[in-house]
Amino acid sequence: MPSIARLLPALALLAAASPALATPADDMRAVADQDTRYQAAVKANDSATMADILLDSFVLVTGSGAVYDKAALVKSARDRDIVWIHQEEQPGSQTVRLYGDTAVVTAKLHLAWDKDGKSNDKWLWFSDTYVRTPKGWRYAFGQSSLALPPQ
C-alpha cells in the first residue's frame, strides 16, 4: 500500500484541477475573465486565443439573424478582415449567471471597426453561453441584439 506522503502530491494536483472543488463564486469569476479575454482576443484579431476559447460546435446569432460558426470567426481574425477600434464591454455591465456546468454572460458591448473602407460604431447587448469542459470554461453560443439607439 502506498504511503500517504507519496499520495499527497497527486491528491493536491487532482484537487487543484477538479472543477467540482471550485465554488460558484470561483466559477463566475473564471467565466467573467474568460469572456473578457475573448473580447480582447477579438479586438486583437488573435485567432489562436479565439480558437482555444470557442467550442468546435460554437454558433453566434446576431440581432439581424446572421449566423457564424467557429471556423468563420477564426478565419476572419486570421485574415484580419476587420480592423477593430473598440470591442469592449461597458464597465459594470457584465453579469454572469451560473447554472451548474453552464454559465451565461450578459453585458453591454461597444463595437467600432473598419472593414472594406467603411467604419462602423455601435453599442449592443449580448448573451454568451459558456460550458464547463475538461479544458475549462469554453464559449458555446452567443447571441447579440440589434444596435442600440445612439447614446
- Per CATH, is 20-144 categorized as 3.10.450.50? yes
Intervals of the chain under pLDDT 50: 8, 10-17
pLDDT of residue 19: 53
Would you say 53 and 38 are in contact if contact means Cβ atoms under 8 Å apart?
yes
Distance CA 18, CA 112 (A): 39
What is the reported pLDDT for 74? 98
The residue whose grid cell reads 478582415 is 81
At 146, which amino acid appears?
L
Within 8 A by CB and 6+ apart from 68, the residues are 59, 60, 62
